[in-house]
């Protein structure tokens, strides 16, 4: 279960909208509390691939995110990115490149309004949707 507040959800969606026509992306920091992953920070990244079909987190931002997590003794919870013209579900590319079974993979679809935000775990190429709680 991924827990975030309205401001954090809006920050994720706004990052994705600002990146249009490209895919938008960023890193989520927070804490794990049992089966709940509670978001503390939404860190927007440049999509260094500048593409509407693929994304990559800016490596410099990625290092900053890990350093910030270390400094605050919290975790890098996962990543968010947008699909501009398809549903908010991990693509084969997303699954193939999902590096960490501990991570939460948040997908935002900008295909239609209202925008859709969903979260997934990806373990051994198996996609498992999880509940998103906006508090």
Q: Which is nearer to other proteins, 7 or 86 (CB)?
A: 86
Q: Does 93 bind other proteins (CB under 8 A)?
A: yes
Which of 7, 14, 72, 102: binder of other proteins (CB under 8 A)?
102
Instruction: Provide, rounded to whole angstroms, the least separation between the CB of residue 41 and other proteins.
Output: 16
At 111, which helix (H) or strand (E)? Answer: none
Handedness of CA 37, 126, 114, 48 (dihedral sign): positive
Per DSSP bridges, beta strands 2-4 and 36-45 are parallel
Helix (H) or strand (E) holding 15: helix 6-19
Angle at 57 between CA 53 and CA 58, to 5 degrees: 120
| Interacting positions 24-83 with other proteins (CB under 8 A) | 25, 27, 49, 51-57, 59-60, 62-63, 66, 79, 81, 83
Q: Contact positions toward other proteins, by CB under 8 A? A: 23, 25, 27, 49, 51-57, 59-60, 62-63, 66, 79, 81, 83-86, 90-94, 96-102
């Amino acid at each position: 279960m991924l827990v975030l507040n309205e401001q954090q959800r809006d920050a994720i969606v706004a990052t994705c909208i600002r990146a249009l026509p490209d895919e938008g992306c960023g890193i989520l920091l927070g804490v794990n509390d049992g089966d709940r992953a509670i978001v503390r920070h939404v860190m927007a990244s440049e999509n260094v691939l500048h593409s509407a079909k693929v994304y990559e987190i800016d490596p410099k931002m990625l290092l900053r995110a890990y350093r910030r997590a270390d400094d605050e003794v919290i975790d890098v919870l996962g990543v968010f990115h947008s699909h501009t013209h398809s549903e908010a579900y991990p693509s084969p590319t997303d699954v193939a490149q999902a590096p960490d079974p501990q991570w939460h993979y948040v997908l935002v679809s900008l295909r239609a309004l209202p925008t859709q935000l969903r979260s997934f775990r990806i373990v051994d190429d198996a996609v498992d949707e999880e509940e998103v709680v906006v508090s």
